[in-house]
Structure 1
Amino acid sequence: MFDAVPATALVEVVAGHFDALDAEAARLDRDGGFPDEGFGLLRAAGALLAPLPRHVGGQGIGTEPAGGLALLSLLRTIGRASLSLGRLYEGHVNALKLIVHYGTDAQVATAADDVRDGHVFGIWVTEGPDPVRLIGTGATSHLAGEKLFASGACVLTRPLITAQPADGPPRMVVARLGSDRNASPTVGGLTGMRGAATGRCDFTGMPIVPEQRVGAPGDYLRQPEFSAGAWRGIAVALGGIDRLVDTIRDQLARRGRAGNPHQAVRIGEALIARETASMWARRAALLAEGGMFEPGDVAATVNLARIACEQAGLTVIQLTQRALGLQGFLQTNQAERVMRDLATYLRQPAPDETLVEAAMWFTGRDLPDPERRP
């Protein structure tokens, strides 16, 4: 058991257990399941409570302006060891961020108590043929419908979900799940991110009390938070890019191929792509967490960063395949798993619309500089 450590030291704790987290990721890729060991490490180090504000016992990473870069470093480090663990932890942070931003003081305090009691949060918003509805009002309301592609569907106990009331826009609800949930793994499975325990969950008949409803109707879609939160996913994906860049260099060096000029070009191109994604991730984190910038600038910048990271990731995957050749497609080579995980992780919705909207926003104005306060 670890003592809770400062935000900057959480990175060192995770990095110090890289081999164990990597081994768990490899095992879950083969057998499926949930990264219990990884979450045990994060819980013991205080990382699950850390995103909450200081006044409820957290460290404010991801919920207070000064904590953005610390969270960027932590998410990147987790993603380098295990993209599946990074996806689940990022969802935990995302849910707590929304509760802190839109919820009441009592709801924030309840969330902190839940984390201390061992509950893990997440965010499930993908609808299927039977979208989740909020039926009734007040103490008599209940849910109907299901969520698909829910990370940790059979394990997470405090997912934040969106539910559609009879009238008006959707609203956020914290579901309180136990072992009696109606959930199952994704039918057919995914080729990557198998350690994220993705599945479906049916909420039909679940009663909802007023204290579980977070914010006002439509808050989930409110900008800039709706788009800005994507920077945390960028940070996790950046960790996967780090892993592949390191893999290219290490494996080519071991095979005595790093000095080949064609391979050197691939290493150089991978480093350029990685650094490009890193710079965009930093800009997005500073803007999203700074709290002092035009909402449209924040949303559009994060959307550009999302596309830049996707392009960098796909470039590095291709360079890994060319650099390692058939060796990179062996299941015994960890690069094969990381490439599948990263390719799956990068599949975010509506990339074309995201790029068009961001480009149109900045057609008549310059990108803000988060390093210089407005």
Structure 2
Amino acid sequence: MSFPFEALMACRAELEAEASANDAQAVFPTHGLARLRQLGVLSAALPLALGGCWPDAAPEAAAAGLLRLLQLVGQGSLALGRVVEGHVNALRLVSRYGTPAQYAALAADVRAGALLGVWVTDGARPVHMDQTAQGLILHGQKAFASGVGHVTRALVTARTQAGTTGMLLVAVGQGCVIHPSIGGLSGMRGAGTGQCDFEGLCVSPDSLIGQAGDYLRQPEFSAGAWRPMAVALGGIERLTTVLREQLAARGRAQAPAQLARIGHALIAAQTALGWTRKAALVATAQDRYDAGDIVATVNLARIAVERAGLDVIELVQRGLGLSAFIKTNVAERLTRDLATYLRQPAPDETLCEAAAWFMQRDLPPAAAALP
């Protein structure tokens, strides 16, 4: 099957309107999620044989399709983009480290409408698991859990009694205590970021995914960062369009200073697109590139996209002036959402490690281009 990109493009304004309406009260975009589910967004990343959109034999085409999908969702709603990207991340981790039976069962759940999440940030009590005669007993909580209260199956990390870290695919429902909002976030308020307490939850050993340490295994751990970049790219492009539209509506688009801002914003958006495409290509071809090259390239791309986003935020705020800070202006929410979304951990360390890796070697060539 092919993905209906035209239908997704047609509902971007609908997603954006819901995101703006829900922002003040930090309400999760249930309508938008339902629309995406109806369009097949949640099952698109599955292999073609399991109901997805792209065959395993064409990884570059699959990467291009997924990039476009995440980009379009990000244009409509960064909060929904974050939830969808987490869903795709969970699918990827189970496909890579789980058994064929685990992945087939998860694919069936997704086709039935399941929403997945990846929750790895521990709360005040880190999640750990104990082996008992009854099964695995979980203790602790996860914080910054996107989509909490709506995610039905979450991939979580947990410390073992031996001191290693494992992954489990956990059904989120009875037995889990949900705290739907951590409160205080200035942006991405619609992503349903909260906490989930797993204290005392008993799960089957079949819930274990892969081996201890798989979650942090390179290059997969870093390579997957291209998918959040694709969502951020959509937000960058949308902000650039808002700048152009609002300046044109005011009759200010031809002012030299404003033309310069528009030009710089377009350059930043194109830069983000180029780096995201490169990261997706290199990450997809793990049999072609050295693991260190993949990690360092994706990390450079991550910093480049962050810089492009921050530049566009500044250009929008300078170009629109005080109106960019008025709550009723979509630009105000978009800049908050994008600034929050771009806050990935350890950017300085990421940049320095990538630069050090390429001190004595060149970046991988773009041997092939994404469609």
Partner of 2:148: 153
Partner amino acid, structure 2, of 1:335: A
User: How far does the alpha carbon of each residue in 1:149-184 deviate from its partner, in whole angstroms, 9 at most, with x for none?
Assistant: 100112211011101101142111011012553011
Query: Cα 1:145–1:340, aligned 2, differ >3 Å: closer, same or farther?
Result: same
1:138, 1:210 within 8 Å by CA — same for their partners in 2?
no
CA distance in 2, matches of 1:164, 1:270: 44
1:63, 1:100 within 8 Å by CA — same for their partners in 2?
no
Structure 1 residue 101 displacement after superposition: 0.6
Residue number among 141, 148, 152 corresponding to 2:136 in the alignment? 141
Give me the TM-score of the superposition, normalised by structure 1. Answer: 0.94
Partner amino acid, structure 2, of 1:45: L
Partner of 1:90: 85
Partner of 2:360: 364
1:158, 1:174 within 8 Å by CA — same for their partners in 2?
yes
Is residue 45 of structure 2 the alignment partner of residue 51 of structure 1?
A: yes
Partner of 1:352: 348
Residue number among 56, 63, 69 corresponding to 2:64 in the alignment? 69
Partner of 1:36: 30
CA distance in 2, matches of 1:372, 1:335: 36
Structure 1 residue 216 displacement after superposition: 0.4
CA distance in 2, matches of 1:320, 1:167: 51
Gaps of 5+ in 1: none
Query: Cα 1:250–1:326, aligned 2, differ >3 Å: closer, same or farther?
Result: same
Query: Cα 1:172–1:271, aligned 2, differ >3 Å: closer, same or farther?
Result: same
Partner amino acid, structure 2, of 1:115: V
2:148, 2:196 within 8 Å by CA — same for their partners in 1?
yes
Is residue 310 of structure 2 the alignment partner of residue 324 of structure 1?
A: no
Which range moved further: 61-70 or 127-136? 61-70
CA distance in 2, matches of 1:137, 1:238: 46
Partner of 2:223: 228
2:147, 2:191 within 8 Å by CA — same for their partners in 1?
yes
Structure 1 residue 290 displacement after superposition: 2.1
Give me the TM-score of the superposition, normalised by structure 2. Answer: 0.95
Partner amino acid, structure 2, of 1:56: L
Structure 1 residue 244 displacement after superposition: 0.7
Partner amino acid, structure 1, of 2:146: S
Partner of 2:246: 251
* SS of the residue 1:6 aligns to: coil
* SS of the residue 1:235 aligns to: helix
Partner amino acid, structure 1, of 2:108: D
1:63, 1:97 within 8 Å by CA — same for their partners in 2?
no
* SS of the residue 1:220 aligns to: coil
User: How far does the alpha carbon of each residue in 1:111-155 deviate from its partner, in whole angstroms, 9 at most, with x for none?
Assistant: 011112221001011112211001116862111000001001122
Once the two structures are superposed, the pairs formed by residues 338-349 of structure 1 within 5 Å of their partners are: 338-349=334-345
CA distance in 2, matches of 1:22, 1:109: 34
CA distance in 2, matches of 1:117, 1:295: 36
Is residue 11 of structure 2 the alignment partner of residue 17 of structure 1?
A: yes
2:176, 2:199 within 8 Å by CA — same for their partners in 1?
no
Structure 1 residue 63 displacement after superposition: 10
Query: Cα 1:63–1:83, aligned 2, differ >3 Å: closer, same or farther?
Result: farther
Partner of 2:331: 335
CA distance in 2, matches of 1:241, 1:86: 13
User: How far does the alpha carbon of each residue in 1:295-322 deviate from its partner, in whole angstroms, 9 at most, with x for none?
Assistant: 1111111100000011110000000000
Structure 1 residue 56 displacement after superposition: 1.9
CA distance in 2, matches of 1:234, 1:342: 11
Query: Cα 1:61–1:33, aligned 2, differ >3 Å: closer, same or farther?
Result: farther
Query: Cα 1:315–1:183, aligned 2, differ >3 Å: closer, same or farther?
Result: same
Is residue 262 of structure 2 the alignment partner of residue 262 of structure 1?
A: no
Partner amino acid, structure 2, of 1:205: G
2:282, 2:294 within 8 Å by CA — same for their partners in 1?
yes
Once the two structures are superposed, the pairs formed by residues 183-198 of structure 1 within 5 Å of their partners are: 183-198=178-193
Partner amino acid, structure 1, of 2:34: G
* SS of the residue 2:215 aligns to: helix
CA distance in 2, matches of 1:199, 1:61: 35
Partner amino acid, structure 2, of 1:232: R
2:144, 2:182 within 8 Å by CA — same for their partners in 1?
no
Structure 1 residue 38 displacement after superposition: 1.6
Gaps of 5+ in 2: none
CA distance in 1, matches of 2:176, 2:113: 18
Partner of 1:305: 301
CA distance in 1, matches of 2:55, 2:140: 33
Structure 1 residue 233 displacement after superposition: 0.4
Structure 1 residue 32 displacement after superposition: 1.9
> How many corresponding residue pairs?
367
Partner amino acid, structure 1, of 2:18: E
1:61, 1:70 within 8 Å by CA — same for their partners in 2?
no
Structure 1 residue 330 displacement after superposition: 0.8
Percent identity of paired positions between Structure 1 and Structure 2: 52
Partner amino acid, structure 1, of 2:70: L
Partner of 1:284: 279
* SS of the residue 1:31 aligns to: coil
Misfit runs of 4+, over 6 Å: 61-64
Query: Cα 1:53–1:372, aligned 2, differ >3 Å: closer, same or farther?
Result: closer
